[in-house]
Amino acid sequence: MSRRAATLAVASVLVLVLALVGSLMPVPYVALMPGPTSNTLGTNEKGEPLIKIEGRRTYPDQGHLNFTTVTYRGGPGGRIDLFSALRGWLDGDIAVVPEETIFPKDESPKQVDEENTRQMRDSQQSAEAAALNELGIKVGTQVVVDSVQKGRPADGKLRPGDEITAVDGVPASSVPAVTGQMAKRKIGEPVTVTFRRSGKEDKVTLTTVAAPDGRRAVVGIVLTDQYRFPFKIDISVGDVGGPSAGLMFSLAIVDKLTPGPLTGGTFIAGTGTITPQGQVGPIGGIQQKMIAARRAGATVFLTPKDNCADALAARPDGLRLVRADTLKGSISAIDAINSGKGEVPSCASR
């Protein structure tokens, strides 16, 4: 073999080895793919109603109001290799994004999972409140301890789940009301917190300390507004996190509490966060969620207005995009689709 041929052979082997090593090399990217869809009017993995209402008259419902999800591969401790990332970039159904998009550098995977679980819990509460507000059913509120910071004055005195009923004798009607009352205290001053735990009311006096910014007096608790509903609503979705199913939960609750099927036989899927006032907010992974919806059989997809541009650019054939600004507007749009009368807001006409 000539020297030139030998050199080319060695070079070729090196290129192949480097290509192989590179293809197996973990990279800090995450591949987002279409995930399962679930019918909020149907049953969960255990065969139980996904949304169960007790203590209030409900009506037979049928059809599909599906929420959509995104699955992923990769992340800290299980990174995808370069070959998988390249294949994802070439696949129109997959989005390859930087790892920190899903797993912020200052949070562990466990913290990300816990945050997703918290967001799902909060979205269910907001969805329930939005549905009842839409139907004119009165909803009460209460201020609850979400977490207690270690080493702070409240540590060992208050617990997650405690209902805060008053601060220095002033009723705690909302989280802003509590923070407003706390703002009146200087660092190092005492504050008396009245709380309810397991049905019993008690109070504790705590000496405030400085917040991390050094400007505010705090006792080391994180508060959240929870809602008191006049009847029981139970949403069971299994191992699904995040806030993006809020709109579809609200629609299903409205459907169950009102006569006649809301869908009118149309297979409707969608996504969007929801506030207790019924405002719909944007989500991530719109492309993968539309693909999942169309594969499941959906012909109408409710799309938050701020996701419309991206949705239009990647809309699957046969899927009609209906712009969702509010819960009330989404209900009106579905009614218009069913009746053939009235305006149906479109992503193409913002």
Going residue by residue through the chain, which has 350 residues, state the pLDDT in tens, using 9 for 90 and above: 555 655 555 455 454 544 555 555 677 777 888 999 999 999 888 888 999 999 999 998 889 999 999 888 777 777 777 777 777 667 677 777 777 777 777 667 777 777 778 888 889 999 999 999 999 999 988 999 989 999 999 999 999 999 999 999 999 988 888 999 999 999 999 999 999 999 999 999 999 999 888 888 999 999 988 888 999 999 998 878 888 999 999 999 999 999 999 998 899 999 999 999 999 999 989 999 999 999 999 999 999 999 999 999 999 999 999 999 999 999 999 999 988 888 899 998 65
Q: Are residues 67 and 147 in the same domain?
A: no
CATH at residue 213: 2.30.42.10
Q: Are residues 272 and 248 in the same domain?
A: yes
Backbone angles phi, psi at 4, to 5 degrees: -65, -45
Is 116 part of a structural domain of the chain?
A: yes
Q: Are residues 83 and 106 in the same domain?
A: yes
Q: Would you call 197 helix, strand, or coil by DSSP?
A: strand
Q: Are residues 42 and 123 in the same domain?
A: yes
Is 6 part of a structural domain of the chain?
A: no
Q: Are residues 41 and 107 in the same domain?
A: yes
Is 213 part of a structural domain of the chain?
A: yes
CATH at residue 335: 3.30.230
Tokens of 179: 């923070």
Q: Are residues 111 and 88 in the same domain?
A: yes
Q: Are residues 179 and 263 in the same domain?
A: no
What's the pTM? 0.79
Residues catalogued as catalytic: 244, 289
Q: Are residues 290 and 219 in the same domain?
A: no
Stated length of the chain: 350
Q: Are residues 172 and 193 in the same domain?
A: yes
Position 153: which residue type? P
- The closest of 107, 109, 69, 30 to 239, measured between CA atoms, is 69
Q: Are residues 95 and 209 in the same domain?
A: no
Q: 327-339 and 246-257 are packed helices; what angle lies between their axes, rounded to 10 degrees? A: 60
Q: Are residues 332 and 202 in the same domain?
A: no
Is 64 part of a structural domain of the chain?
A: yes
Is 187 part of a structural domain of the chain?
A: yes
Q: How many domains does the chain have?
A: 2
The domain in which residue 152 lies consists of 140-228
Backbone angles phi, psi at 242, to 5 degrees: 90, 170
